Chains A and B, each alone.
Chain A
């Protein structure tokens, strides 16, 4: 670890100002990715802007047709929330599958979404539910937010303040854990709304993506059998020492079926 300055602002504009005024500064939310990276000297930010004093970023609000989760809400709080469990049980289940108890207690939804790790769980839930990312300056639809490997639509100095999830009729998440890291080797989030079904896949490629043929088939018939024969293309999927691309492609179908099962149960 190299030395760095540390700031703990209590107003969002102050945080944004620090972030834009100090070159090579970084936001830290739960720090579950950033801190290990700094410790390994793979990242050496000049300054850290800690969001933990921004009370307005914490908590879960019932908006009726949607739920708004503050960016600094830890995964464990989402997993344990009666509100989330009642209205979007698939999202509570997803939060409970992240990492381990220590990670779930520290790691936050905003941090995970902003980092956009290609194997993280939350991007699947956010894209699968068609959520809205609320930032310090605007609102961004999930479909426009995730731009690929660790890339998002966030501008310099822009801070995620909350994620607003529309309440679906049904939703489920199924995750095949990478054996060592327990990140998603393949994770699929399926959500059924009155106007159709969304299917979002994480872990399989360089970033979270939707599967239109599965969405069409499930919109017709929300049952695992509807997508059993739908294979996704290996092209562009990740191949590494844990899983080859064609195996990942196969798992997308298996996990999608299981996510539908989970949504129906």
Chain B
């Protein structure tokens, strides 16, 4: 038995050695013989008819290999970029699903929409030639906001999508909700905007494609969170490449946050073009290009109403949302503001009746899709904000109103009125833990200290739950998923006992190479150093759905756990033969197979050796070798949750909000590596704080220009925006995942925006402020104070 580092330990991350020493292997690090450079020419207009493209000057430019446009795509009869979800309205009418050509045909629908691909010997030559391309646009008015897009007379993106509405979706019992509202002692109302976000992974998107005429095989290296899904969507549905003739590799990837979990047109264009020009092609996006082509996130306008009885018990919740889809349907687009939003509106409360209507709307903006949290931060924000509004209006303490409505620990499993059934949880325990950790008792003293400096201090709560571990395939299929959402793992034990795991999830910052190795080390009793995790290559990994929705440990880890169990089961058969005992008498513990009640034992390495040198081996009943594979399809989502408490200080002179304390007590189930979990929570919280205070993608109505199109204008959260965070776990075990894990990748982003905004509103409540839209920028706060302070001053 070697150096076992198992569940609950915090070894340093295996992958960091190569990342921190500059030895990572990212797409843009890869060079192929004879490689050319590709550049996309993108629409400068939000909405325009494409009258024609004159390629002649670009084709004549030095070094140019080819110039391809939508006409070439049409001539080759290639498919539309597919949407992975098909949702329907209340009557069962399917969503409007207009084609999404990989290079624009007939019309452009957002600034950044691709109109041509220029291939040259060098990136400089490709860029120079791209500037020579003459695109004849007939510019049309753009519509960028959802409220504007559904108004009569608004610019129409598609001829057959009236009022730009893709789908008028609903969930819940509308009649029961209406009945409950009629009986309510109080109704709290809230209108809010969930601001549009841009993911900004550190590594921009990039791709290299190559075609080998000798084998008829394509290889695509791409910055993807799910290479197998790209192989399927692109090969089977867009380019008509047989799956066995297409290899997709996603090597080291520098962050994703959802931005890289879609099949992008760039991938299809470059793969198609590589065969046409018979040369490998590389494309690397600039940061500016990413701003107008990486899928954006959030962007809702919502009206919510909460019905309460006289004691503050929630009777019913009604939510009407307009959700921005952008110019086309991206891979998961319509699923995010519907299936990942409505079912979370129950939160951790016993609200018996919920109704949600979401109008999914096309606009002249970058397509909107999943961004860390995806639908669930939006749901949490609506719910946790309106709970505060109700508490304030009814004069009930914000913690007390939450307690009165929380699902008690003993009531789990708990069936909500919006499809999902929570298997486990203890929201009250998380709340109690957070109250202590955040020193809520001492808040009054801190508030007085702030006041003495002329600052307003506020405290904000968010007690939340999310659904992750996407997803039970059967359930997802009923909701409109067009694929499965299981995961797979292969555990290959080498003759010397070292282990290689091939897994279908993708590690792009989450620490999988460490966490998964810990699971194997613990279960097989092998050294942590003797386990390698392989991912991101369709030629090496059997299959996989990739990494998103906090699913890697929950679904991928479960597949890995199952495959490891199969290895142990086979090992027992081999050991029984070698030890001349009955299989039922073989125990496996701490890396040794032994006969129960005896000192007869064989090490894991002995068994691995015997499996590959089967001289003394039950060949009649057992195959040689020690390699097992498992697929795992979860029976339910997992439901991590917790309580976040934010404390802010507002400078009324400038409107600046400073986050001064942040506490999170989260229930993420079993923790494999506490250090990695803490890091995931830190990162998630900072991303949520970014949405609450800083980040905002702003478009110009009419022209469709992105006004926040660079890091100079789009404010990302930075280290100096953050206080030291207190992060603790209060875990209940998931009842249906093999290890009791729930997932932790998104909880921070889901819980934090409401906590921060509730704190800002609390700080300004004495001035009559009842709501602040995100991001709570200095200008916005100052404006609120200008409008709010006058009547208060007059009192």
Q: Which residues of A contact B711 (CB under 8 A)?
A: 180-181
Chain-A contact segment, one of B293-301, B494-502, B776-784 = B776-784
Contact with A along B118-133 (1 / 0, CB 8 A): 0000001001100100
Alpha-carbon distance A181/B709, docked complex (angstroms): 12
Most B-side CB within 10 Å, residue of A3, A176, A180, A242: A180
* B112-165 contacts to A (CB < 8 Å): 124, 127-128, 131
Q: Which residues of B contact A2 (CB under 8 A)?
A: 124, 128
Residue of A nearest to B694 (CB): A179
* A201-257 contacts to B (CB < 8 Å): 240-244, 247, 250-251, 254
Contact with B along A16-60 (1 / 0, CB 8 A): 000000000000000000000000110000000000000000000
Compute the total of residue contacts between A and B using a CB distance below 8 Å: 47
Given contact pairs A1-B124, A41-B127, A179-B694, A247 touches B779 in the complex (Cβ within 8 A): yes
> Are A241 and B698 in contact, with the CB atoms below 8 A?
yes
Alpha-carbon distance A251/B779, docked complex (angstroms): 10
- Please tell me if B589 contacts chain A, counting CB pairs below 8 Å: no
- Please tell me if B598 contacts chain A, counting CB pairs below 8 Å: no
Within the complex, which residue of A3, A241, A242, A251 is in contact with B654, where a contact is CB–CB below 8 Å? A251
Alpha-carbon distance A41/B124, docked complex (angstroms): 11
Most A-side CB within 10 Å, residue of B128, B288, B711, B782: B782
Given contacts A179-B715, A180-B715, A254-B653, 10 further A-B contacts (CB under 8 A): A40-B288, A179-B694, A179-B778, A180-B711, A180-B713, A181-B713, A241-B708, A242-B779, A243-B778, A254-B654
Residues in chain B within 8 A of chain A (CB atoms): 124, 127-128, 131, 286, 288, 653-655, 694, 696, 698, 707-708, 711-716, 777-779, 782-783
Q: Is the interface of A mostly helix, strand, loop or mixed?
A: loop
Residue of B nearest to A254 (CB): B653
Q: Which residues of A contact B713 (CB under 8 A)?
A: 180-181, 241-242
Q: Which residues of A contact B708 (CB under 8 A)?
A: 180, 241
* A161-178 contacts to B (CB < 8 Å): 176
Q: Which residues of A contact B694 (CB under 8 A)?
A: 179-180
> Are B782 and A250 in contact, with the CB atoms below 8 A?
yes
Within the complex, which residue of A3, A41, A179, A181 is in contact with B777, where a contact is CB–CB below 8 Å? A179
Q: Which residues of A contact B124 (CB under 8 A)?
A: 1-3
Residue of A nearest to B693 (CB): A179
Q: Which residues of B contact A243 (CB under 8 A)?
A: 778-779
Given contact pairs A1-B124, A176-B654, A250-B782, A242 touches B777 in the complex (Cβ within 8 A): yes
> Are A244 and B715 in contact, with the CB atoms below 8 A?
no
Q: Which residues of A contact B131 (CB under 8 A)?
A: 41
Nearest Cβ in chain A — how far from B693, in angstroms? Answer: 9
Alpha-carbon distance A241/B694, docked complex (angstroms): 12
Could you give 15 example pairs across A and B, Cβ below 8 Å?
A40-B288, A41-B131, A176-B654, A180-B694, A180-B713, A180-B716, A181-B711, A181-B712, A181-B713, A241-B698, A241-B708, A243-B778, A244-B779, A251-B654, A254-B654
Q: Which residues of A contact B655 (CB under 8 A)?
A: 247
Alpha-carbon distance A1/B698, docked complex (angstroms): 28
Given contact pairs A176-B654, A180-B713, A254-B654, A241 touches B288 in the complex (Cβ within 8 A): no
Nearest Cβ in chain B — how far from A13, in angstroms? Answer: 34
Residue of A nearest to B780 (CB): A247
Q: Which residues of A contact B707 (CB under 8 A)?
A: 240-241
Nearest Cβ in chain A — how far from B779, in angstroms? Answer: 5
Task: Please give me the 3 A-B residue pairs with the lowest Cβ-Cβ distance, nearest first.
Answer: A180-B715, A179-B715, A181-B712
Alpha-carbon distance A251/B654, docked complex (angstroms): 7
Nearest Cβ in chain B — how far from A241, in angstroms? Answer: 5
Residue of A nearest to B656 (CB): A176
Alpha-carbon distance A3/B124, docked complex (angstroms): 9
> Are B288 and A247 in contact, with the CB atoms below 8 A?
no
Given contact pairs A2-B124, A40-B288, A254-B653, A247 touches B782 in the complex (Cβ within 8 A): yes
Within the complex, which residue of A1, A3, A180, A247 is in contact with B712, where a contact is CB–CB below 8 Å? A180
Contact with B along A102-126 (1 / 0, CB 8 A): 0000000000000000000000000
> Are A247 and B715 in contact, with the CB atoms below 8 A?
no
Residue of A nearest to B655 (CB): A247
Q: Which residues of B contact A181 (CB under 8 A)?
A: 711-713
Q: Which residues of A contact B782 (CB under 8 A)?
A: 247, 250
Q: Which residues of B contact A241 (CB under 8 A)?
A: 696, 698, 707-708, 713
Nearest Cβ in chain B — how far from A185, in angstroms? Answer: 8
Given contact pairs A40-B288, A241-B708, A247 touches B783 in the complex (Cβ within 8 A): yes
Q: Which residues of B contact A247 (CB under 8 A)?
A: 655, 778-779, 782-783
Nearest Cβ in chain B — how far from A178, in angstroms? Answer: 8
Alpha-carbon distance A242/B715, docked complex (angstroms): 10
Alpha-carbon distance A265/B257, docked complex (angstroms): 46
Q: Which residues of A contact B127 (CB under 8 A)?
A: 41
Q: Which residues of B contact A254 (CB under 8 A)?
A: 653-654
Q: Which residues of A contact B288 (CB under 8 A)?
A: 40
Nearest Cβ in chain B — how far from A184, in angstroms? Answer: 13
Alpha-carbon distance A1/B123, docked complex (angstroms): 10
Residue of A nearest to B708 (CB): A241
Nearest Cβ in chain B — how far from A262, in angstroms? Answer: 15
Q: Which residues of B contact A3 (CB under 8 A)?
A: 124
Alpha-carbon distance A40/B289, docked complex (angstroms): 11
Residue of B nearest to A41 (CB): B127
Residue of A nearest to B782 (CB): A247
Alpha-carbon distance A180/B286, docked complex (angstroms): 19
Alpha-carbon distance A251/B655, docked complex (angstroms): 10
Alpha-carbon distance A180/B713, docked complex (angstroms): 5
Q: Which residues of A contact B716 (CB under 8 A)?
A: 180
Alpha-carbon distance A33/B338, docked complex (angstroms): 44
Nearest Cβ in chain B — how far from A238, in angstroms? Answer: 12
Q: Which residues of B contact A180 (CB under 8 A)?
A: 694, 708, 711-716
* A146-202 contacts to B (CB < 8 Å): 176, 179-181
Q: Which residues of A contact B715 (CB under 8 A)?
A: 179-180
Nearest Cβ in chain B — how far from A81, in angstroms? Answer: 25
Alpha-carbon distance A240/B782, docked complex (angstroms): 15
